[in-house]
Amino acid sequence: MEKVYDTKKHCNGCGVCAKICPVNAIKMLEDSEGFKYPQIDPELCTDCGLCQTKCSAKSELKKVEGNFYAVRCNDEELLRKSTSGGAFSLIAEEVINEGGIVCGAVFDENFKVKHILSEDISKMRKSKYVQSDLDDCFDKIKVELESGRKVLFSGTPCQCHSLKVFIGENDNLIIVSIICRGVHSPLLWEEYKKYIKGNDELKAYDFRDKRRRNDAHTIAYTVGDKETAVTMSEDSFSKIYNKCLSYRPSCYDCKYCSADNDFDFTIGDFWGIEKFMPDLYDGKGTSLVITHSENAEKIIQHVKEKATVIECTKEQAEQTALKECAKESILRKLLFKDLGESQDGNKIPLILKKYGQ
């Protein structure tokens, strides 16, 4: 076999094919845009086809209609530390209280985005708009499940689907899919970090800061002792994201832009809440939570003890990322061409100026 995927738009980089290859013929390698893809060693490949059968791009996702809720945690401190209404933490705490473990996306010590397994979810909070490296998390999840432990996985819908195909049905696995419009290239993020930190140390980065009570539409980061906080509409790096110029190719052909799926939960920002729950429109954030399973419904009933939970309709919860996927602009190719010529962040000012207007 030459390739696991037919086009890059059909590979989300989950790495399941590499994990299950019986002769270790597949390696996950970064391309020139910084996204990982499987590469087959033709010398080792026996054409068994297993990689094809476990590829989520080739597997149908069941469309299950869910129940819709607006959720906001009562704990003001937790609300401040969360991107939306704190739904992720509320759900994760239920699983941890039952002896479970959580897998979610964190910044590592170099502010690379990666998934880890832990009972401590503090670093998993907050959206990081860069593709997260799943590393060996799926194998670790399998081991935990085999020991009879509950595991909560939270990630983008494509990651959730890959995990579901890898593990199969398992009542102890709770899958929380994040509503997602697309993920920034890890390479662009690396170069951008080099640029903003210069010779100093990047100490903090928050894609969704809430201090200005503007529904977390502020970016805040600290380099050395200096903190910078700008609204997304003033921030060129955010504008590149919002214009969908830096996403993984599969984001432009995403089959998960729907409110219906068979994960346990779908969570996101409750955009448009001002139209029918004006009391919750105060810039502190509210989560949209969709439950698709009995397990999820049980958890949401427990969550009511620690949060405002209001049932709502599918129409009230509508937003673009649940209807259609991001459109690819001709500028995307040009951006990555410019990035390819960049060294040590020196092209980043040009990229920000050219594409982040």
Q: Which is nearer to ligand FAD, 21 or 182 (CB)?
A: 182
Residue 247 makes contact with ligand FAD by CB under 6 A? no
Residue 130 makes contact with ligand FAD by CB under 6 A? yes
What does the alpha-carbon distance between residue 91 and residue 89 come to, in Å, rounded to a whole number? 5
Q: Which is nearer to ligand FAD, 4 or 160 (CB)?
A: 160
- Produce one character per residue of 272-306: b if its CB has 16 or more CB atoms within 10 Å, e if not: ebeeebeebeeebbbbbbbbbbebbeebbeebeeb
Residue 267 makes contact with ligand FAD by CB under 6 A? yes
Q: Alpha helices, DSSP H only, in the chain? A: 16-20, 50-53, 76-81, 87-97, 137-146, 157-167, 186-197, 236-242, 294-303, 331-340, 348-355
Compute the least distance from the CB of residue 306 to ligand FAD, in Å.
13
Residue 218 makes contact with ligand FAD by CB under 6 A? no
Residue 321 makes contact with ligand FAD by CB under 6 A? yes
Q: Which is nearer to ligand FAD, 124 or 300 (CB)?
A: 124
Instruction: Please pick, from the candidates 4, 18, 19, 84, the single residue that binds ligand FAD as defined by CB under 6 A.
Output: 84
Q: Which is nearer to ligand FAD, 225 or 305 (CB)?
A: 305
Q: Which is nearer to ligand FAD, 83 or 185 (CB)?
A: 83
Residue 238 makes contact with ligand FAD by CB under 6 A? no
| Beta strands per DSSP E along the chain | 26-30, 36-40, 67-73, 101-107, 113-118, 151-155, 173-178, 202-209, 218-223, 226-231, 265-269, 287-291, 307-312
Residue 83 makes contact with ligand FAD by CB under 6 A? yes
Residue 180 makes contact with ligand FAD by CB under 6 A? yes
Instruction: Please pick, from the candidates 128, 197, 248, 332, the single residue that binds ligand FAD as defined by CB under 6 A.
Output: 128
Give the angle 209-259-130 at the CA atoms, nearest 5°.
40
Strand order in the sheet with 265-269: 113-118, 101-107, 151-155, 173-178, 265-269, 287-291, 67-73, 307-312
Instruction: Please pick, from the candidates 15, 34, 38, 155, the single residue that binds ligand FAD as defined by CB under 6 A.
Output: 155
Instruction: Please pick, from the candidates 178, 244, 307, 309, the single residue that binds ligand FAD as defined by CB under 6 A.
Output: 178
246 Cβ partners below 8 Å, 6+ apart?
184, 185, 188, 240, 332, 335
Instruction: Please pick, from the candidates 13, 66, 104, 356, the single residue that binds ligand FAD as defined by CB under 6 A.
Output: 104
Residue 189 makes contact with ligand FAD by CB under 6 A? no
> Which stretches of the chain bind ligand FAD, using CB under 6 A?
82-89, 104-105, 113, 124-130, 132, 154-156, 178-181, 183, 267-269, 287, 319, 321
